[in-house]
Structure 1
Amino acid sequence: MDIRSAAEKIIALKNADMALRNRLIQSKQLHKGYNKEMEALHIKNVDQLNEIIESIGFPSMEKVGKEANEAAWLIIQHAISKPEFMRKCLTMMGKQVKQTLEERRQMAYLMDRIAVFEGKPQLYGTQFDWDEKGLLHPSPHDGLERVNKRRKSIGFNSLEEQTDLMRNQVKNENQIPPSDFELRKKEIESWKKQVGWIKQKN
């Protein structure tokens, strides 16, 4: 596969993802659990992106351009049913010789997402979730001062400012907190074991 065809394919995969997401937002179905149709599309996109990576290597900004690189990152962020793929991509991103500021930010998001799914504290405060009172908060991190220092180093706003922005975003998208917090927590833990984020004991 040549680079131009790969870039066009990656962008098309991202567009399909966003079209489905927008449809689920309009029907108020986006965050009623992990929508099965969305999960199936995410897995399909991962399989196709992985084939592209096997053919051309990691789709860095230098290689495929800004639009296709950002599209690939979105697909990777949404590959939550494929832990090993996400970890592989993070390793490949870390090995890039020429890395733009935007690619460093992409790595921050991916590092945090993997950490949260692994039950570890995030480093940049990019991941958010509902608490038992129905309020959106950053997922557990290693301390506000440390997080804000790292965020500043790559040009992010403060975690306090980002929290306000995220709360406004979920409001604008008609996202609502889970009606049963404890049930949702159990369902997430079960799903994490099923897809491999948590190793099941023999």
Structure 2
Amino acid sequence: MDAALRDELLAMAAEDLRVRAELDEAGELAGGYAPRMEAVHRRNAARLRELVAQHGWPTRALAGEDGAEAAWLIVQHAIGEPAFLRATLPVLWDAAARGEVPAWQAAMLEDRIRVFEGRPQRYGSQFQPDADGWLRPHPIEDPDGVEARRAAVGLEPLAARQARMGREEVGDRARFEREYHAWLRRVGWR
């Protein structure tokens, strides 16, 4: 294991989560993609690209269990970098097939990409607020098969996950939707 790589990945993920907590406490997350959060995500994505070019994808053997999970968190949060997420997805699926990362990481990244592209997700891992603010799964491809797909990649049953989801205040829903769709086009998801 490369301890320096692991430590760097853990520090990057910790910064992401720290800034997110600060913005959440200040009420700055509900209105769209906060510029400060976006800056952290872009900086982390740029550095992760460099690390992957140097070392390959940070697997358990390379970066430890927590380092590999930190790398996944960084790519999962790099939502303003569609090309990076798309390029990482087959790498994660390959690593999962070899048992080097958990398959749920690839599944959740696949769902995230599909949702941003406007396609139904496969594993039901991405949620959105309904009209009353309750978090519900984005549309799911073949909903009758979702539980089998979730189990196959190590995700808990969807009902169990949804039971822990709460509410999210969106404020002006029409404005949020306009800004969200403009952002999707601006960064290249659509």
Name the TM-score, length of structure 1 as normaliser: 0.87
Contact persistence 1:131–1:181 (CA under 8 A) = no
3-state SS, counterpart of residue 166 of structure 1 = coil
Q: Does 1:35 align with 2:34?
A: yes
Contact persistence 1:125–1:139 (CA under 8 A) = yes
2:99 and 2:86 map into 1 onto residues whose CA distance is: 18
Q: Does 1:186 align with 2:178?
A: yes
Q: For the aligned residues, what is the CA RMSD?
A: 1.7
2:2 and 2:131 map into 1 onto residues whose CA distance is: 47
Contact persistence 2:30–2:171 (CA under 8 A) = no
3-state SS, counterpart of residue 65 of structure 1 = helix
Which string of whole-angstrom CA distances, capped at 9 and with x for unpartnered residues, describes residues 157-186 of structure 1? 22122111122xx5xxxxx32122222111
2:42 and 2:160 map into 1 onto residues whose CA distance is: 33
Partner of 1:26: 25
Name the TM-score, length of structure 2 as normaliser: 0.92
1:179 and 1:93 map into 2 onto residues whose CA distance is: 36
Tell me how far 1:148 sits from its aligned partner: 1.3
Contact persistence 1:144–1:159 (CA under 8 A) = no
Partner of 2:4: 5
Q: Which amino acid aligns with 1:194?
A: R
Structure 1 residue ranges, 4+ long, deviating more than 6 angstroms after superposition:
none
Tell me how far 1:126 sits from its aligned partner: 0.3
Partner of 2:131: 132
Gaps of 5+ in 1: 171-175
1:105-144 matches, within 5 Å, as 105-144=104-143
Tell me how far 1:14 sits from its aligned partner: 0.6
1:164 and 1:126 map into 2 onto residues whose CA distance is: 13
1:64-143 matches, within 5 Å, as 64-96=63-95, 98-99=98-99, 103-143=102-142
Partner of 1:62: 61
1:143 and 1:177 map into 2 onto residues whose CA distance is: 29
Contact persistence 1:32–1:178 (CA under 8 A) = yes
Which string of whole-angstrom CA distances, capped at 9 and with x for unpartnered residues, describes residues 71-114 of structure 1? 000000000000010111112112225225x6201111100000
1:56 and 1:65 map into 2 onto residues whose CA distance is: 14
Tell me how far 1:15 sits from its aligned partner: 0.9
Tell me how far 1:4 sits from its aligned partner: 2.7
Tell me how far 1:50 sits from its aligned partner: 0.7
2:69 and 2:48 map into 1 onto residues whose CA distance is: 13
Q: Which amino acid aligns with 2:52?
A: I
Q: Percent identity over the alignment?
A: 34
3-state SS, counterpart of residue 95 of structure 1 = helix
